[in-house]
Amino acid sequence: MQRQYTSIFKLIANNLYNMNRYEEALEQYDLAIQKNSEDADYYKCKG
């Protein structure tokens, strides 16, 4: 369940990034990291 929940933040972040809304995308990646800091994929996407 935790993985699904944080995946929503990643999905939103990816969509924002694709719309060139980079600051908002970074905020969503940060939220995903706050909820699940052990998933390296969120850090990779943020980088």
Quickly tell me which residue has 């969503």 as its tokens.
Answer: 28
10-45: pLDDT as tens digits: 899 999 999 999 999 999 999 999 988 888 888 998
- DSSP for the chain, written as a single string: -HHHHHHHHHHHHHHHHHTT-HHHHHHHHHHHHHH-TT-HHHHHHH-
Q: What does the domain layout of the chain look like in residue ranges?
A: 2-42
Residue 25 near residue 14 (C-beta atoms within 8 A): yes
- The pLDDT value given to residue 7: 86
Output the pLDDT for position 1.
Answer: 47
Q: How many CB atoms lie within 10 A of CB 6?
A: 20
